[in-house]
Amino acid sequence: MGDILIIYDSRHSDIKNLQDDFNTLHPKMMFTAETETNKQINILNITIHKTPTKWTTSIYRKPTFTDSIFPYTSTHPPGHKHARIRYLYNRLNTYHLNHNEYKEELDTIRDIMTNNEFPTHTYTRPNLKKTHTITPSQNPSNTTQQQAPISYIGRETTYNTNIFKNADIKITLRTKNTLQIC
């Protein structure tokens, strides 16, 4: 079970009674409750702030947050590295942040990129493309595409996988990075 956000009026509802009711639903499920502190609550990766007239959101990072992602110099496929950066920019542009919070998050993204050795020319925002899923009715052959996982070892791998672009084979890149005790 994941996180559940319940918005309630404490003048009409008792969260403790509601929690007790939830905990009677199934003997193996135990619900816990976290309530707002200082008119805000953190849930997933956002903070919800309550004001007298509205709610606002900001990006939340746990106290244990580190800015480590795949270093640019790692042997991970470039698509994996750039996907993380696209995620950060997508999140930045999805939440309705005020000007100062937006600028602060943009600075954080740049710090993450700097600390993970991304070249400065990659600091510009990537093309944020909407993904398109092909439904079975849109696929004329209505067959499943074969997949071939290939270990990524560097730029040569990307060059070699381009050979398969016109084939009916989907290439997926994986890494073989593992820790070994010598």
For residues 15 and 35, is the Cβ–Cβ distance under 8 A? yes
pLDDT for 55 equals: 85
pLDDT for 128 equals: 53
pLDDT for 107 equals: 93
CA distance 99 to 39: 21
Residues 53 and 114 in one domain: yes
**Does the residue 144 lie in any domain?**
yes
pLDDT for 182 equals: 47
pLDDT for 134 equals: 42
pLDDT for 44 equals: 84
CA distance 44 to 84: 17
Dihedral sign (CA 152, 155, 159, 165): positive
- According to DSSP, residue 158 is labeled H
Mean pLDDT per block of 10 residues along the chain (182 residues) reads 79 89 89 89 88 88 88 87 89 87 92 91 63 45 64 70 72 64 50
pLDDT for 131 equals: 44
Q: Which two tokens stand for residue 116?
A: 């993970």
Neighbours of 88 (CB within 10 A): 19
CA distance 112 to 166: 36
**Does the residue 42 lie in any domain?**
no
pLDDT for 8 equals: 81
Query: What's the domain count of the chain?
Result: 3
pLDDT for 139 equals: 47
Residues 61 and 102 in one domain: yes
**Does the residue 43 lie in any domain?**
no
Residues 119 and 141 in one domain: no
* Cβ neighbourhood burial of 95 (10 Å; 0-12, 13-18, 19+): middle
Residues 142 and 114 in one domain: no
For residues 22 and 31, is the Cβ–Cβ distance under 8 A? yes
Domain extent for 27: 1-35
Residues in the chain, overall count: 182
**Does the residue 10 lie in any domain?**
yes
